[in-house]
């Protein structure tokens, strides 16, 4: 995942640190963060951070008390938060103004005794670049792209901090997988359930154990071993780590067995799914009373 931050800004000189001989240029937004989507962890999206007013702050206190707005856009969906709702947004905006001064010079003028600068680094699987337009003291307009260093840290920290204030943009589950396909492909030997005492090598899918009658439910699907047992599955949500489902396991033969389990399903590499019981059950799938 690559984050590219394109920034132009208007704010008091006390809030924006100069970059070498570069100072702030008036514009509408403080920063625009374009996030390239990782197919498993986030959808492509853009975050625009802007102040509530474009006037230059008269005092440092006025600048620090200003309300900021962040608007996130992705595939037609728009989310908006303010720094009054999300203090992390104000911290991020002011932190941009505190980025340490960076020396501007032509690489060809460097000498061997100069310290080796730290270039772009990968962090959490992605890198970032900051591009912004500014004015030099002599009035020259310049466009700068910074990769690595303080700008990269700011980009990562801002995206991560704002995730605490709005839900992550998690890609939707694969469209071709239905609850019935998940349940039919489930490895019943991979987690605790009523099949435990009768497990036999090679017999692990519901069809191997006689569950053949499909029972459709409003919130999921079930497979019945006629007159004997029924197992059901409801999708709670999809995460990059797999499907979170509620698994129901109920006796139909006069027994009292009735259990529910919160499971995480992942590909077992054999065309089906293995299950891992979650340590903390989902609130919508709590164990049945008396369930061990």
- Collapsed DSSP state (helix, strand, coil) of residue 88: helix
Q: Which residues have CB under 8 Å from 250's CB, separation 6+? A: 229, 230, 231, 232, 257, 258, 259
Note the pLDDT of residue 212: 92
The 10s digit of each residue's pLDDT in 129-163 is 666 656 677 877 666 666 677 777 787 788 888 88
Note the pLDDT of residue 26: 40
Report the first-to-last Cα separation within the chain, whole angstroms.
42
- Collapsed DSSP state (helix, strand, coil) of residue 133: strand
The 10s digit of each residue's pLDDT in 240-291 is 778 999 999 999 887 778 889 999 999 888 888 999 999 888 999 988 776 6
- The Cα–Cα gap between 166 and 113 comes to 47
132 burial level (CB within 10 Å; 0-12, 13-18, 19+): buried
Predicted TM-score (pTM) of the model is 0.51
The 10s digit of each residue's pLDDT in 58-89 is 888 888 889 999 999 988 889 999 999 999 99
Q: Which residues in the chain belong to E strands, given as ranges?
A: 3-7, 22-23, 31-35, 45-51, 68-74, 77-82, 128-136, 141-147, 213-217, 220-225, 229-239, 242-251, 258-267, 273-277
- The Cα–Cα gap between 15 and 186 comes to 56
Give me the residue spans of the domains in the chain.
Answer: 3-162, 179-277
- The Cα–Cα gap between 89 and 107 comes to 35
Report DSSP state, residue 283: T
């Amino acid at each position: 995942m690559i984050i590219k931050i394109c920034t132009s800004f208007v704010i008091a000189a006390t809030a924006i640190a100069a970059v070498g001989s570069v100072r702030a240029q008036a514009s509408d937004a403080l920063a625009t963060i374009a996030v390239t989507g990782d197919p498993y962890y986030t959808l492509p999206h853009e975050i625009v951070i802007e102040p509530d007013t474009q006037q230059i702050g008269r005092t440092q206190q006025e600048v620090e008390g200003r309300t900021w707005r962040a608007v996130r856009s992705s595939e037609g969906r728009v989310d908006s938060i303010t720094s009054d709702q999300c203090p992390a947004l104000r911290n991020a905006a002011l932190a941009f103004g505190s980025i340490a001064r960076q020396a501007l010079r032509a690489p060809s003028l460097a000498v061997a005794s100069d310290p080796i600068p730290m270039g772009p680094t990968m962090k959490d699987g992605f890198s970032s670049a900051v591009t912004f337009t500014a004015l030099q003291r002599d009035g020259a307009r310049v466009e700068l792209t910074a990769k690595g260093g303080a700008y990269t840290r700011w980009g990562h920290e801002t995206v991560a901090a704002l995730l605490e204030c709005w839900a992550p943009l998690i890609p939707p589950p694969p469209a071709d997988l239905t609850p019935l396909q998940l349940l039919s492909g489930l490895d019943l030997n991979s987690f605790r359930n009523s099949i435990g005492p009768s497990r036999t090598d090679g017999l692990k899918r519901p069809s191997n154990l006689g569950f053949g009658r499909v029972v459709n439910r409003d919130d999921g699907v079930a497979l019945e071993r006629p007159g004997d047992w029924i197992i059901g599955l409801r999708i709670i949500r999809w995460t990059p780590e797999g499907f979170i489902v509620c698994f129901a396991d109920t006796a139909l033969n006069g027994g009292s067995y009735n259990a529910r389990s919160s499971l995480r399903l992942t590909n077992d590499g054999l065309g089906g799914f293995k299950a891992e019981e979650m340590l903390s059950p989902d609130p919508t799938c709590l164990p049945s009373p008396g369930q061990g």
